[in-house]
Structure 1
Amino acid sequence: MGAVLCHVSTRQNGRVYVLVRQASGGEFLVDTLDDAGTPIEAARSLTPVAFSSFVSSVEPGTTAPRWVWDNTAHIYPALLAGGIRVQRCHDLRLCHVILKNSALTSTSDLALAAPGRWDLASSPASDQAEARATLFDFDVTSVADGADESSLRELRRQLDAVAGAAEPGRLRLLLAAESAGALIAAEMRYAGLPWRTDVHDLLLTRELGARVAPGARPGRLERLAQRIRSELDDAALNPDSPQELFRALQRAGLAVTSTRGWELKKLQHPVIEPLLQYKKLSRLLSANGWTWMESWVVDGRFHPDYVPGGVVTGRWATRGGGALQLPKQIRGAVVADDGWKLVVADAAQLEPRILAALAQDTSMARAGRGTDLYAGIVSSGVVETRDHAKVAMLGAMYGATTGESGRLMPRLARAYPLAIALTESAARAGERGEVVTTRLGRSSPIPGPGWHESQAQAYDPAATATDERRARSQARDWGRFTRNFIVQGSAAEWALCWMAEIRRELTALTRADAAPGPAGESGRRAAGFGSPGARAPFDSSPHLVFFLHDEVIVHTPAVHADAVARIITSAAETAGRLLFGDFPVDFMLTVAIVDNYAQAK
């Protein structure tokens, strides 16, 4: 008990896994396994201190193993708190979701097994709050008895499922990228996004007025509320109440079916302008106001709680903090530390480019080569304006068939038949209740029992016209979902590979910088580097601090900013090759080296 493994055996061929399981009493059970899940060293039981020492002894290194554990979010933060990073892991919980539902592993023992504790630990069904909470709220201590056997059995089932797949390489890349994403999410939460609360306060005051007591409206909001009451002739109206506002709008003769902004924008009435302003500023106050700042910004850092795989397509979600929707009004509060820079990068027209590569549509890929894809579509003579190109492409990916998008779709189909055929094929599959699969192997869920009942009812001899309309509507809705699933899901895979490659290259840059001598650690100290708000192992090296679907931010010592920008750009090219080989599609980036986030936009 408490002994430290002094080494991890390496093999000439195949991977080396170190399976880590938490046992009762807080100790860690550690097994070293080969790439078939067979132990190659005797299992050890380590105290938390001994476990950290063990991990530190084999990280970093060219022969570092792939750590296997139930849940990265449960184990990795403790290592980070000890200043320890790992190169790679295999997150059993996240990988189970993929393999359980992938069409590529549908005949595996894992996919065919009755639901068990791994299914309870992971919910791929939706991105609703309850499902997202389940993803990280699984209590490993509740299954400590027999957990070692269960985790080892699960790893073997996962390895067998991948080995038996028709294209195991795709799945191996997906599982590696998904698990790398879990490491990145934990690291970004630990390091935090640099945040200036004094700047945040100034920005809120400029937008809303001076800070007031909780529950009261700042000055600008109160003035807008008074204008709304005046325009609607209702002195007692509370514009924060959808019910009261809905009734007041109807009394004013406005034919509304909801109080949502997109519907209000269609109306002509003096109340619309102040009402839309009020809704925008009210959202800022509730989502990112002073209360948010005091709750989420600690010691100059915003620590978002990312949920990798929180959306069924593989996109990330967040649990609290709203990191995936930081509004423009407060981005100026994201300020690099003294002597540091923010390198902000976003992928231009990512999903259309993914679609071109998925469909192997060379004409569409050519339109975006070295330039804005929508501008390239215009230059090709397909449509007249960039806005037309964007509307038409979004219609193709999201299933819009009416209005301007519907009018332009035939032109797009003639110019890029392979791309449009792919989305249409995915939509038809969804309308039949079938699954579709992303580039690397994540498959869409099947519709629920209610959907199938509606479809069956429509074919019943006694079916009414209402039954048939309901079935058609539900089929079209599911078709729109599967149409976009393959594109959004594949884009999420590209983004994971992009971030994983950025992380890998930043780590290599950090190791080079840590070499002895003026260019290494002593050189950094002499130059005054060292981030005051960050903690080891991120206090003196470039590191990812933010991710939003197709956008990343790296916080870096200023001396490394140009190198980081090159790493980010090169990583985008690498991610494209990993997913699509030599297919000639460009993944264009906008990269900015700035002092605060607002300067990048």
Structure 2
Amino acid sequence: MSALAFLASDPDGYALIDLRDSDSAHPLREVLSVSREDFAQVVTWIEAEFEPRWAMLRTTPWMQPLISAGVFLAKAYVLSLAQRIMHRTPLAAEQVEDFDLERPVPATDRFNQDALFDTPAFGESLEDVIALYTQQRRALPQDPAARKRLELLIHAESVGALIACEMEHAGLSWDEAGHRALLREQLGERVSEYARPPKLAAKAQELAAALKTPGLNPDSPQELLKALHKAGFAVRSVRAWELEQISHPVIQQVMEYKKLSRLASAHGDMWLEQWVKNGRFHPHYVLGTVVSGRWAASGGGALQLPHAIRQVVRTGPGRTFVVADGRQLEPRILAAISNDQQLQQAGQQDDLYQWLLDAKLVSTRQDAKLGMLSVIYGGGGGASGTVGAALTKSFPTAMRFVEQAALAGQQGEGVRSFLGRGCPPADEQWMRAQRDTADEASQRSADAAARARGRFTRNFVVQATAAEWALVWMGHARHLIHQAGWGRDCQQVFFVHDELVFECPEELAEQLQRLIQHAALLAGRTLFGAASPHFPVSVAISANYGDAK
């Protein structure tokens, strides 16, 4: 028997827990009214006795007190995240309204039970939670295979939300003294919030002199662009990716200034005081808001830590990081979702790029990487385009798969990931711009928009599925760590796209490495079955996160 535990607010207390059989929906006990003081103890008992899947509207406010009390929930169903998935997936059997994940719902904001989706906000009463769950279950596809995939996505996303809460609570070990020493070395003595640190101010003056623009404010994109044009640099913007294409001492000065300016603004003294407490960085992770399923972070720039800052991410004595990174993940994902047998054969090797070299499809590893990205993302020209053409000839099934996704995007259609996360069709404004092409300029604009959307949907089918694999990988690693009895000693503390960072005692590091690698194997089989491509992961063990990168 599998159990489902609905968790909701108690208007007369703290929490209500309704325990039911997952298949029949029959109650297994009377609804429990639980006080704040007894909450963790009651949940612990239910978890041990029934091992239910916990259905809750959001992880807040439930997970914070449970994690603080050391309570582990194995399974979850987060209805707000499921609602976003069901709203966007093309697999749904009936239309499902969206859920505003960006706006917290006030406790008094209740919706009408007689018109469940007439209001944009959902309440958190037990009746609300059960009604929303029931509606979502009714909207699941009838096809068994599609239903199984979509359920897996919802369950993986929900466990991902539990992991996000656990990581936020644990925090990332941070060397505060080392961080301040880095700031003094790079920027000079601390100044007021509105002034440039001494070394950054000196760089600004040097750059103004080099560009012959006295009083230049290089933090203003408009002023900097104007100064570069005056100096003879025909650039369209001052974005780093464009400036990096130019080899010139002045441009190098610009890049150095931008790097220091970002350090001062994004990870300076004020940032350190706001985000690092007692030697731990506690970012807030956000799920469900990025269309591809990748995570975002609210404040703190958690997903964009520059290399210099990674050097101050250090564990304490006797502890170490175990950093695991999916190797050549996206080509392997493409092999699986396209069912390209030749690419799957290449993906059985630990080093897919070496296979391409041995097969004489490319001349260098860099060619292999750039060419494969060209195949996946429809990139460019030059050498990468030439290599991409050679790879296309070798992997025609994979190429047709991404080309079909690109064509769907160009026509304004939606696409989906392997498990069913949907990229919605283009909106009416986009479609109208495609139709209203009365002159050459509007036609060029429409064609450019179509190509851009085609590149996005081509990217989406691979990237969104890679995000699903990473979610399942994390879920398996979390489960295996708990099974091994290491939950208090080994914790996942950071996650960026397809990289997992754990912290553990030094003596457990090698065992944890093997566990994480096994979890990657299980993730592939969970998504793609026995015919799953090989998903090797690179693992580095270091007390310094910067050295593990």
Structure 1-normalised TM-score? 0.85
Q: Does 1:563 align with 2:541?
A: no
Q: How do 1:42-81 residues align onto structure 2 when only pairs under 5 Å count? A: 42-60=30-48, 63-81=50-68
Amino acid of the residue matched to residue 142 of structure 1?
D
Alignment of 1:413-452 (within 5 A): 413-452=392-431
1:380 deviation in Å?
Answer: 1.6
Q: Hey, what's the Cα distance between the residues in 2 that align with 1:195 and 1:378?
A: 41
Find 2:481's aligned residue among 506, 528, 541.
Answer: 506
Q: Which residue in the other structure is 1:495 paired with?
A: 470
Distance of aligned partners of 1:209 and 1:146 in 2 relative to their CA distance in 1, 3 Å threshold = closer
Secondary structure at the aligned position of 1:142 is classed as: coil
Query: Is the contact between residue 231 and residue 270 of structure 1 (CA under 8 Å) also seen in structure 2?
Result: no
Residues 233-278 of structure 1 show CA distances to partners (whole Å, capped at 9, x for unaligned) of 1221111111211221122222222111222233454421111111
**Structure 1 residues 143 and 23, CA, compared in 2 at 3 Å: closer, same or farther?**
farther
The residue type equivalent to 1:453 in the other structure is R
User: Cα 1:159–1:271, aligned 2, differ >3 Å: closer, same or farther?
Assistant: same
The farther-off stretch of 238-247 and 546-555 is 238-247
| Separation in 1, partners of 2:317, 2:411 | 57
SS of structure 1 residue aligned to 2:139:
helix
Q: Secondary structure at the match of 2:423?
A: coil
Alignment partner, residue 530 of structure 1? none
Work out whether residues 316 and 549 of structure 1, in 8 Å CA contact, stay in contact via their aligned partners in 2: yes
Q: Name the residue aligned to 1:578.
A: 526
Please give the alpha-carbon distance, in whole angstroms, between the structure 1 residues aligned to 2:137 and 2:187: 55
Asked if 1:139 corresponds to 2:114, the answer is no
Q: What corresponds to 1:377 in structure 2?
A: 356
Name 1:213's counterpart in structure 2: 192
**Contact kept? 1:501, 1:575, Cα under 8 Å:** yes
* Residues 136-215 of structure 1 aligned to structure 2 (within 5 Å): 137-143=104-110, 147-162=125-140, 164-167=142-145, 168-215=147-194
- State the percentage of identical aligned residues: 40
Pick from 307, 331, 346 the counterpart of residue 325 of structure 2.
346
Report the AA paired with residue 466 of structure 1. A
Identify if the C-alpha distance between structure 1 residues 146 and 582 changes in structure 2 by more than 3 Å, giving closer, same or farther.
closer
* 1:582 shift after superposition: 2.0
1:154 maps to a residue whose letter is L
In the TM superposition, 1:75-474 aligns within 5 A as 75-105=62-92, 107-108=93-94, 112-113=95-96, 115=97, 119-122=98-101, 133-134=102-103, 137-143=104-110, 147-162=125-140, 164-167=142-145, 168-267=147-246, 269-458=248-437, 463-474=438-449
Does the 8 A contact of 2:167 with 2:494 survive in 1? yes
Residue in 2 that maps onto 1:523: none
* Corresponding residue of 1:516: none
Query: Are the structure 2 counterparts of residues 163 and 375 from structure 1 closer, same or farther at C-alpha, using a change threshold of 3 Å?
Result: same
CA-to-aligned-CA distance 1:502-529 (integer Å, 9 cap, x gap): 100111122xx6xxxxxxxxxxxxxxxx
SS of aligned partner of 1:338: coil
SS at match of 1:83: coil
Kindly indicate whether the alpha-carbon contact (under 8 Å) linking 1:341 and 1:594 is maintained by their aligned counterparts in 2: yes
Q: Residue 60 of structure 1 contacts residue 87 of structure 1 at CA under 8 Å; is this kept in 2?
A: no
**Cα offsets for 1:370-393 (capped at 9, x unmatched):** 333223222221121222222222
CA distance in structure 1 between the partners assigned to 2:66 and 2:186 by the alignment: 41
Going from structure 1 to structure 2, the CA distance change for 1:478 and 1:38 (only over 3 Å counts) comes to farther
Q: CA 1:251–1:183 in structure 2 vs 1: closer, same or farther (change >3 Å)? A: same
Where structure 1 has 5 or more consecutive residues not aligned to the other structure, the ranges are: 1-10, 123-132, 514-537
- Return 240-249 or 86-95, whichever deviates more: 240-249
**Aligned 8 A contact 1:104 1:165 in 2:** no
**TM superposition shift of 1:163:** 6.0
Cα offsets for 1:177-213 (capped at 9, x unmatched) = 1000000000000111111101112233333334333
Distance 1:217 1:372, change over 3 A: farther
Q: Is the 8 A contact 2:9 2:124 kept in 1?
A: no
1:141-187 Cα distance to aligned partner (Å, 9 max, x none): 42287832221111112222336345221112111110000000000
Deviation for aligned residue 1:578: 0.7
User: For residue 131 of structure 2, what is the amino acid of its counterpart?
Assistant: R
Tell me how far apart the structure 2 counterparts of residues 266 and 93 of structure 1 sit (CA, whole Å).
43
**Unaligned residue ranges in structure 2 (runs of 5+):** 112-122
CA distance in 1 between counterparts of 2:260 and 2:206 reads 15
**2: CA distance between counterparts of 1:416 and 1:146?**
50
2:376 aligns to what SS in structure 1? helix
Rounded Cα–Cα distance in structure 2 between residues aligned with 1:60 and 1:87: 10
Contact 1:99-1:158 at 8 Å conserved across structures: yes
Check 1:146–1:486 CA distance in 2 against 1; reply closer, same or farther (3 A cut): closer
Secondary structure of 1:334 counterpart:
coil
The CA distance in 2 between the partners of 1:39 and 1:395, in whole Å, is 54
CA 436–298 in structure 1, closer or farther in 2 if over 3 Å, else same: same
Range moving further from structure 2, 246-255 or 417-426? 246-255
Aligned equivalents of 2:14 and 2:279: distance in 1?
34
Equivalenced residue count is 536
Q: Which residue of 2 aligns with 1:589?
A: 537
For residues 141 and 386 of structure 2, what CA distance do their matches in structure 1 show? 47
Q: Does 1:20 align with 2:7?
A: yes
Q: Is the contact between residue 13 and residue 34 of structure 2 (CA under 8 Å) also seen in structure 1? A: no
**For the residues of structure 1 that align with 2:315 and 2:248, how far apart are their CA atoms?**
44
Aligned partners of 1:422, 1:313: CA distance in 2, in Å? Answer: 18
Give secondary structure in 1 for the equivalent of 2:472: helix
Of 33, 38, 61, the match for 2:20: 33
* 1:42–1:164 Cα change, 3 Å: farther
TM-score scaled by length of structure 2: 0.93
User: How far does the alpha carbon of each residue in 1:395-418 deviate from its partner, in whole angstroms, 9 at most, with x for none?
Assistant: 222222433333332211111111
**Conserved in 2, the CA contact under 8 Å of 1:362 and 1:584?**
no
Q: Measure, in 2, the Cα distance between the counterparts of 1:57 and 1:320.
A: 36
CA deviation string 1:567-600 (max 9, x = no partner): 1000000001111112252212111121111221
What is the CA–CA distance in structure 1 between the aligned matches of 2:505 and 2:48, rounded to whole Å? Answer: 22
Residues 519-569 of structure 1 show CA distances to partners (whole Å, capped at 9, x for unaligned) of xxxxxxxxxxxxxxxxxxx7x421100001111111112222121111100
Q: Distance in 2 between matches of 1:193 and 1:60?
A: 29
Structure 1 residues 34, 556: closer, same or farther in 2, change over 3 A? same
Residue 26 of structure 1 and its aligned partner are, at CA, apart by 4.8
* Mapped contact 2:167–2:493 kept (Cα < 8 A): yes
Aligned partner of 1:502: which letter?
A
> Any conservation in 2 of the 1:368–1:374 contact (CA below 8 Å)?
no
How well do the aligned residues superpose, as a CA RMSD in angstroms? Answer: 2.0
